[in-house]
Amino acid sequence: MKTSIATVSISGSLREKLAAISKIGFDGIEIFEQDFIADEGSPREIGRMIRDHGLEITLFQPFRDFEGLTGEARRRAFDRARCKFDTMVELGAELLLVCSSVHPESLGGIDRAAQDLAELGDIAAERGLRVGYEALAWGRHVNDHRDAWEIVRRADHPNVGLILDSFHTLARKIDPNTIRRIPGDRIFFVQLADAPQIEMDLLYWSRHFRCMPGEGDLPVQAFMQAVAATGYDGPVSLEIFNDQFRGGRPEGLARDGYRSLAALMDDVRRAEPDIRIKVPDMPARVAAQGVAFIEFATRGEEAEALAKLLHCMGFRHVGDHVSKRVALWRQGEARVVVNAETEGFANSAYLVHGTTVCDVGLSVSSAADTVARALALAAEPFEQPVGPGEMKIPAIRSVGGSVMHFIDQVSGLSDVWSVEFRGSGEAKPGGAGLTRIDHVAETMNYDEMLSWSLFYTSIFDMERTPMVDVVDPDGLVRSQAIKSRDGRTRITLNGAETHRTLAGSFLAESFGGAVQHVAFATDDIFATARAMADLGFEPLPMTVNYYHDLRARFGLEPSRVEELMAFNILYDEDADGAFFQFYSRPFAEGLFFEVVQRVGGYDGYGAANAPFRIAAQKRLMRPKGVPRK
Ligand SMILES: O=C(O)c1ccc(O)c(O)c1
Ligand SMILES: [Mg+2]
């Protein structure tokens, strides 16, 4: 498989783009004319610089408004093409993308366009070059790959072929399976892009909202399966125009691009085993079976406050690490590890973020497969020296530089609690009825959300649920849930756009993305709330207005509303079931805990309650400027 990416897809100068693209391991680039023109090097120097990065120029683009012209305009178009061909020879680029014309004077007619392309093919052939024709979704006469293919077929020239771009086909809802009847050797190049499903002008959608395959809503996999089924064996190239990406970090974008392409082609290979494209082997997406533990890095007064809070929530301190200052707290299957080490990873996480969730443990079917797949998808490995009595648990880097460990049964990793910890490690009776971790909520900058949702959905067998807007009194926070199909593993990503929101101030105070809250499940929220109250737990207080509204919204019995209000329990329901939740007060830099009960098939997170919860939290937060103790 030859992997490629258009230089437009990455931010930075051409040189920064090349460094990032080559470092992550792409084979080639589509050089976008603008990037090339803006660089101070000569075409020859730029070509050499690209090859010195170990990259091939897979395509030179775009050449616009070529076909369908007459008279002087047609002559000018051919002259322009000759100039570009000369540049391509200097650069060492062999294939030119001609996109369908939007020229107001261009005439329609398949044969006219075919004739133009055949003549262009002759000129290209003299220089050893080739031309690929692409239908822009907004082309004046040609806006459908089926018409572009008919033009290429009639041009009947060995140096003229078809260029397919998933965006143009899928944005117009053209059935990608129509590609299956095109001979693979007549397809010269394939560009891939996804996009969120938003109704808008095609050109605007394409130039501003494209995203990496798997980050959007278009059936890019079905498109690529159809391409692969033709026998096509050429470059698979990302062409992403995206406003957010233009301001992103080149390395991060290159990594996400590579991850998206590798995951897509792995899916394609599994669905179409007979394809000619050779796709590297990697383990299949791994089943996530729940959050095995969360680990806090903390110390001092914040560590004491956390221990007190865990105690009031019914957790019991059930073990201590054999060689480190690490305590294990447990209730039901929910495990919280509290790490007060002054060396190693947890220590550095604490020094950067203050009290923070430095590590999330996921239960998976196979930890080795998880890491193998993650590394094949360009995830960052994590290792730290294994101390005396410790097990080597596979891990990778996750959100905000935190760590994600993988625990499985097949390799005995789930024995870690009895191997590494002194004490029974067993859940003790007399807790507050918490059974397991329902979800982990990660807060990040809004422009990191696509990247982290791709991280989860490409490595694990997890799916995204639609983005919801959460209204904070000081701005909007967008929330996207990622969950395993069985709902046992749930991670919510919360993207803040301003620092004045609760999520945004958490980001600023903790210096970057991290877990902001952890939700524990109970089967009886009233019994849990009562047991916690007996242990001294102080819930986040909700307003009386909230409960009046609840009664109106859902027509609840007054006695039910009284009961909810007594324990500061929030309520939501939908067609599938009901949802109860209450919150702890914020601790450290805006971290908090949540307790939830899902009834029936309720699958959400109480988004309708979020504005009231956030307002209540903000009332309790430490005033700005008061230093951490
Ligand atoms: O937006 C455009 O003009 C444009 C140019 C070249 C392409 O390959 C493309 O898909 C879009
Ligand atoms: Mg394109």
> Is position 543 within any domain?
yes
Cα–Cα distance measured from residue 470 to residue 611, given in angstroms and rounded to the nearest whole number: 7
Q: Which pTM value belongs to this model?
A: 0.95
- Residue 594 assigned to a binding site: yes
C-alpha distances out from residue 22 to 86, 238, 254, 259, 345, Å: 26, 14, 9, 14, 30
Residue 132 CB less than 6 A away from ligand 1 = no
Same domain for 45 and 165, yes or no, is: yes
* Closest ligand to Cα 138: 1
In the chain, the number of structural domains is: 2
Pair (223, 295) in one structural domain: no
Instruction: Answer for the pair 440, 591: CB distance below 8 angstroms, yes or no.
Output: no
Q: How, if at all, do strands 326-331 and 334-339 pair?
A: antiparallel
Q: Is 165 annotated as a binding residue?
A: yes
Pick the closest to residue 133 from 118, 123, 125 (CA basis).
Answer: 118
Task: Compute the C-alpha angle 379/594/587, nearest 5°.
Answer: 85
Distance from residue 535's CA to the centre of ligand 1 (Å): 63
Instruction: Write the ipTM.
Output: 0.99
> Is there a single domain that holds both residue 166 and residue 227?
yes
230 domain residue, yes or no = yes
Pocket probe mutation, ligand 1, options 8, 84, 136, max atoms within 8 Å of Cβ: 136
- Find, among 600, 341, 575, the residue nearest to 487 by Cα: 600
- Residue 628 within a domain: no
Among 237, 271, 305, which residue terminates a domain? 271
User: Tell me, what's the pLDDT at 624?
Assistant: 54
The closest-lying atom of ligand 1 relative to the alpha carbon of residue 134 is 8
DSSP states of 322-353 as a string? SSSSEEEEEETTEEEEEE--SSHHHHHHHHHH
Q: Are strands 475-484 and 490-496 parallel, antiparallel or unpaired?
A: antiparallel
Are the beta carbons of 395 and 383 closer than 8 angstroms? Answer: yes
Burial class of residue 584 in the structure, from the number of CB atoms within 10 Å of its CB (0-12 exposed, 13-18 middle, 19+ buried): buried
CA distance from start to end of the chain? 55
**How many C-beta atoms surround the C-beta of residue 192 within 10 A?**
28
Do 24 and 111 fall within a single domain?
Answer: yes
- Structural domain includes residue 281: no
Question: For ligand 1, atom 1, which residue shows the shortest CA distance?
Answer: 207
In this predicted structure, what is the pLDDT of residue 628? 47
Q: Is 239 one of the annotated binding-site residues?
A: yes
One-letter-per-residue 3-state SS of 66-85: CCCCCHHHHHHHHHHHHHHH
Degrees to nearest 5, angle at CA 432 with 427 and 438: 80
Specify whether 459 is located in the same domain as 579: yes
Residues pairing with 130 in the sheet: 95
Q: Of how many residues is the chain composed?
A: 629
**165 Cα–ligand 2 center, Å:** 5
Q: Which atom of ligand 1 is nearest to the CA of 207?
A: 1
| E strand or H helix at 265 | helix 250-271
Range of the domain at 243: 3-271
Give the end of a domain, one of 242, 271, 300.
Answer: 271
Task: Report yes or no: 378 and 431 within 8 Å, Cβ to Cβ.
Answer: no
**DSSP strand pairing (236-238 vs 3-6):** parallel
Q: Is 517 annotated as a binding residue?
A: yes
One domain, residues 440 and 306? yes
> Helices 610-620 and 502-509, interaxial angle, to 10°?
50
- Flag whether 397 is in a domain: yes
In the numeric block, the tokens 């707290």 are attached to 329
pLDDT score, position 626 = 54
The DSSP bridge partners found for residue 199 are: none
CATH code: domain of residue 594: 3.10.180.10
Say if residue 215 is in the same domain as residue 250: yes
Asked if 194 and 262 sit in the same domain, the reply is: yes
Residue numbers in the chain where pLDDT is lower than 70 = 622-629
283: in domain: no
Q: Does residue 206 line the site of ligand 1, with CB under 6 A?
A: yes
Domain boundary among 271, 300, 316: 271
User: Between the CA of residue 459 and those of 285, 372, 393, 396, what are the distances in Å?
Assistant: 6, 10, 18, 11
Say what angle helices 558-566 and 544-554 make with each other, to 10 degrees: 150
CA 126 vs. chain centroid, Å, equals 45
Nearest CA residue ID for atom 11, ligand 1 = 136
Ligand 1 centroid–CA 24 distance in Å is 25
191 assigned to a ligand binding site: yes
Per-residue pLDDT tens for 55-89? 999 999 999 999 999 999 999 999 999 999 999 99
Per-position DSSP letters for 108-149, written without gaps between them: --HHHHHHHHHHHHHHHHHTT-EEEEE--TT-SS--SHHHHH
Q: Minimum-distance ligand to the CA of 237?
A: 2
Same domain, yes or no: 15 and 121: yes
Give me ligand 1 centre to Cα 180, in Å. 23
Does residue 629 belong to any structural domain of this protein? no
Residue 278 resides in a domain = no
User: Which CATH number characterizes residue 248's domain?
Assistant: 3.20.20.150
CA of 143 to the centre of ligand 1 (A): 12
Does residue 226 sit in the same domain as residue 306? no
**Residues 261, 293 within the same domain:** no
Distance 555 CA to ligand 1 centre (A): 53
Q: Is 497 exposed, middle or buried (0-12, 13-18, 19+ CB in 10 A)?
A: middle
C-alpha span between 438 and 211 (Å, rounded): 30
Of the candidates 233, 244, 306, 304, which has an alpha carbon nearest to the alpha carbon of residue 274? 233
Ligand 1 near 97 CB (within 6 A): yes
Alpha helices, DSSP H, located in 391-512: 416-420, 449-459, 502-509
Distance CA 614, CA 387 (A): 41
Q: What atom in ligand 1 is closest to the CA of residue 97?
A: 8
Q: Does 264 share its domain with 348?
A: no
